[in-house]
Structure 1
Amino acid sequence: MTSFNSIIIENIIESLDVGLMVLSHEGKIIYLNKAVCEILGLNREEHLGFGWGELFITDEISNAEFNQVVLDVIMEQSIGLKHVVPFRPKGYVCLKRLSITSSFLTENETDIGMVFLFEDITEIYNAEQREKKILSRNVELQKERIEGLDSLAQAVAHQVLNPTTVIGGMANIISRKLPEGDPLKRDVQIITEEALKLEGLVAAVRTYSEIPKPQPVEVHVRDFFIEAGINANRILSRIGEAIELRLDCSVDTMMVGKSLFMTAVVELLLNASNFTPEKVTDVHVKVESIFKKVVIRIIDHGMGIAEPYLGHVLDPFFSTKAKGVGMGLSRVKKIIFEHHGKLTVESPGPGKGTTVTIELPCPENNCCGADV
């Protein structure tokens, strides 16, 4: 039965895609499976019994990181060490990327050998590198787009504000000089109102172009959103409306530029209220950690967004409100971008509510706790 069990174990090991190498306590190779021979370019019959050093350490340069793994295992005497290192098999031109996991064989609490698992992750590594380059390029393009929009916004603010102010001022002067009941008064009043709209547009554009870089500090998530709800309700109370905020937070803290990020969140809460017909808007805020990101979802049950509009709601100057300038969500998007985050807006359709999602990178110290 023991022999039969050994055959089963050996067949299983031989069928693995992961390479297995066993070294004796003296560093001699005592076992190689088929996969490790393919990964490392070895021949089982030829290389069994070789010492690690004489087989792999041919000079000080070739596969230095790879060889250092074994030295680390020997020096640190640790179980489960995992490394990702470059490796070039003898006679190969291209580098491979290997994931190496190491452990020890023990008997009666005495180390009798070392075990190494090798996985060829070259394709995965190359795919990740390509993805990083694409993401980096997309970030650069987004940055260029925002910088271009900033320049345009500043130019618009400068070139439009002065003539708009003159038009509004002159219209007011003419209106005061016209006698009461003159039919031209109404026409001049329209000019004044439109000039004020232009001034509002210029002010919104200037605010967008002057959004500063954030100075991140650690904030307590629950307290932050409670404060955001209070700030939003202070504004909404002027028109007899309010927000009922329901918080669902599994993240204790996050790193943001507090005042700047507060501006963005309050804008989103006000937007939820604006597109809800009820006087009191129910808003669900959910904050969680997913794959080393702080993910914030702001969910309302209001009028929703029709499919033709959904792809444009973050564009500057786009608005479905008669008196809207269309810069609110654009400002929010820029603030999130300055935090190295991502903003998305989703809606199943009219009357089905809207979900705004903010993704922020987690700091290196993993302030948001364990990932889901």
Structure 2
Amino acid sequence: MERNDRAREDTPAPGDIRDLISQNVLESIPIGLLLVDRTGSITVANPAAVAILGFPASELEGKGFGQLFFENDANRLFNQIIVDIIHNEVVGLRREAPYVTPAGETLHLSLVGSFLRYMSEIAGVVLIIQDNTGLFAAQRRENELLREKNRIQEDKIRALDTLARSVAHQIRNPTLAIGGFAARLDTLLRKHGIESDYPGIILEEAARLEGIVKAVNKMSRIPSIVPEPTRLGDILDAARGKTDARAAGSAKKVRWDMEIADVQVLADPELLTMAFEEIFSNSVDFSPSPGVDIAVKASTAEGWAQILVEDLGPGVADEHRPYVFDPFFSTRPDGSGMGLALAREVIVEHGGNIALRESTVGGTTVAVTLPVPPPSR
């Protein structure tokens, strides 16, 4: 009987068990926890908070929050969260703030604080502290690496542009000379009654090379876009007019079917007009007949403008589809393969995308998407 009485005396009461569990949780969690009472004194500081803040436990509990932290002006953002919580009686206020320890080490802390009220009285403030210094440093290094990668990429692009212009310049003069001498050779052969196809072939190939040089120059000299709110319909109409003029030069005529919603895009009007002119002209160039049918439909969905350009031409063979936007790829003997490559470059610079789609009318369908600016408030 005496042993059972002693066992009952050694068994903790339910309230004591709850206190024991709470104490163990506070001591074991890796996140700092501070409890500041209504007088501004720190009544609870768990081991994680002690380690993060850099003060001995004896200097935290029972000391005033302002007395410990407010004297260091470097911690004004850290201190401000307590001020804002008390002033606005906020629950669940989240902040990121730098914090300088007594040893002078700068940490990057994530803070969550809540105003506590018991009945109608102010009970205090609870502050949860997490040290994200390592994560913050990793993100900063990642951003620095990304900036460096972008800088290297931009340097490569500038170098390639310079190389393209230099090569185009070096090729252009010999090409003109080859064409000129071929023309003179043709004249001399005809003068002496000699029939030959060779001078004509040389002239044709020289002209083709000259076309490639011009296309490379055009591609390498695309300026940086200067975007402004522009009606998409105006851009497509301008590209349509330029395409009609080019088609007339090839003894062709375009029959247009235009369904264009009233859409505004953030675009460089001149460059985007040039991109759509290249897309439209591609349909003209590949049309086997002098009458060219081009349907253009423009609509919006979920913050994007979608433009579909369909023609009734021969279409694109499956084996060629992956390469149609690559520079210098063309299935035409006299083609430079730069038109759709130039269009893609301009559209991507506008934050958009261009792709081939399965045609519903038997020809080629080009799908272009462009971002639509958010509505002004």
**Structure 1 residue aligned with 2:8:** none
Q: Give the share of equivalent positions with the same residue, in percent.
A: 29
Cα distance in 2 between the residues matched to 1:158 and 1:137: 31
Cα distance in 1 between the residues matched to 2:374 and 2:22: 44
**Structure 1 residue aligned with 2:203:** 192
> CA offset at residue 28 of structure 1?
2.1
2:34/2:42 contact within 8 Å kept: yes
**Structure 2 residue aligned with 1:292:** none
1:368 maps onto 2:374 in alignment: yes
Give the stretch that moved more between structures: 145-154 or 192-201.
145-154
**Structure 2 residue aligned with 1:53:** 66
* Cα pair distance change 1:304/1:50, threshold 3 Å: farther
1:32/1:44 contact within 8 Å kept: yes
* Cα pair distance change 1:166/1:257, threshold 3 Å: same
Map 1:1-372 onto structure 2 (within 5 A): 19-32=32-45, 36-37=49-50, 39-40=52-53, 47-57=60-70, 59-61=72-74, 63-71=75-83, 73=85, 81-90=93-102, 95-106=106-117, 112-176=123-187, 178-179=189-190, 184-219=195-230, 223-224=231-232, 226-234=233-241, 235=243, 238=252, 240=254, 255-264=266-275, 267=278, 288=302, 303=316, 310=322, 316-319=327-330, 322-332=333-343, 334-335=345-346, 341=351, 368=374
| SS of residue in 2 equivalent to 1:132 | helix
1:13/1:33 contact within 8 Å kept: no
2:324/2:340 contact within 8 Å kept: yes
Cα distance in 1 between the residues matched to 2:57 and 2:38: 19
Cα distance in 1 between the residues matched to 2:117 and 2:124: 7
Count of residue correspondences: 343
1:87/1:98 contact within 8 Å kept: yes
* Cα pair distance change 1:303/1:89, threshold 3 Å: farther
| SS of residue in 2 equivalent to 1:56 | helix
1:243/1:281 contact within 8 Å kept: yes
| SS of residue in 2 equivalent to 1:211 | coil
Cα distance in 2 between the residues matched to 1:145 and 1:26: 62
2:109/2:130 contact within 8 Å kept: yes
* Cα pair distance change 1:244/1:338, threshold 3 Å: closer
Cα distance in 2 between the residues matched to 1:74 and 1:313: 64
> CA offset at residue 56 of structure 1?
3.0
1:233/1:243 contact within 8 Å kept: no
Q: Report the residue type matching 1:212 in the other structure.
A: P
1:245/1:282 contact within 8 Å kept: yes
Q: Report the residue type matching 1:141 in the other structure.
A: I
CA deviation vs aligned residue, 1:245-287 (integer Å, no higher than 9, x gap): 787x9xx865433322443455457669989999656878766
| SS of residue in 2 equivalent to 1:317 | coil
* Cα pair distance change 1:122/1:261, threshold 3 Å: farther
Q: Which runs of 5+ in 2 are unaligned?
A: 1-14
Q: Report the residue type matching 2:98 in the other structure.
A: P
Cα distance in 2 between the residues matched to 1:218 and 1:36: 52
> CA offset at residue 51 of structure 1?
1.6
Root-mean-square deviation (CA), in Å? 5.2
Q: Report the residue type matching 2:63 in the other structure.
A: F
Cα distance in 2 between the residues matched to 1:276 and 1:12: 80
CA deviation vs aligned residue, 1:5-39 (integer Å, no higher than 9, x gap): x98x9699859776443433432224456764554
Q: Report the residue type matching 2:79 in the other structure.
A: N
> CA offset at residue 204 of structure 1?
0.9
| SS of residue in 1 equivalent to 2:68 | helix
| SS of residue in 2 equivalent to 1:214 | coil
Q: Report the residue type matching 2:172 in the other structure.
A: L
Q: Report the residue type matching 2:67 in the other structure.
A: E
> CA offset at residue 355 of structure 1?
8.6
2:298/2:305 contact within 8 Å kept: no
CA deviation vs aligned residue, 1:172-208 (integer Å, no higher than 9, x gap): 3443455499664422111111111111111112212
Q: Report the residue type matching 2:374 in the other structure.
A: C
1:275/1:303 contact within 8 Å kept: no
TM-score by length of 1: 0.66
* Cα pair distance change 1:282/1:104, threshold 3 Å: same
> CA offset at residue 210 of structure 1?
2.1
